[in-house]
Amino acid sequence: MHLARAEMTVALNAILDRLPNLRWAPGAERPVLMGLHWRGPSELPVVFG
């Protein structure tokens, strides 16, 4: 679990470094986290540019 978390941190930082203009979509609702074990949003409304 700790290795997976560290790998995910590195991967997300690499993606965000390559997409400097990535931001939340204006007017979009915040994602809802669902579930107990596999907790995460079903979508992330973002825009590029």
pLDDT tens per residue, range 6-40? 999 999 999 999 999 999 999 998 888 877 788 88
How many C-beta atoms lie closer than 10 Å to residue 45's C-beta? 13
Give me the pLDDT at residue 18, please: 94
**Do the Cβ atoms of 45 and 21 come closer than 8 Å?**
no
Answer whether residue 1 shows pLDDT above 80.
yes
18 or 43, greater pLDDT: 18
In which residue are the tokens 């590195």 written? 10
Q: What confidence tier does 43 reach under pLDDT thresholds 50, 70, 90? A: confident
Give me the pLDDT at residue 44, please: 87
CA–CA distance from 49 to each of 4, 24, 25, 29 (Å)? 30, 11, 11, 20
Answer whether residue 48 shows pLDDT above 80.
yes
C-alpha–C-alpha distance, residues 13 and 6, integer Å? 11
Q: What tokens were used for 18?
A: 């390559």
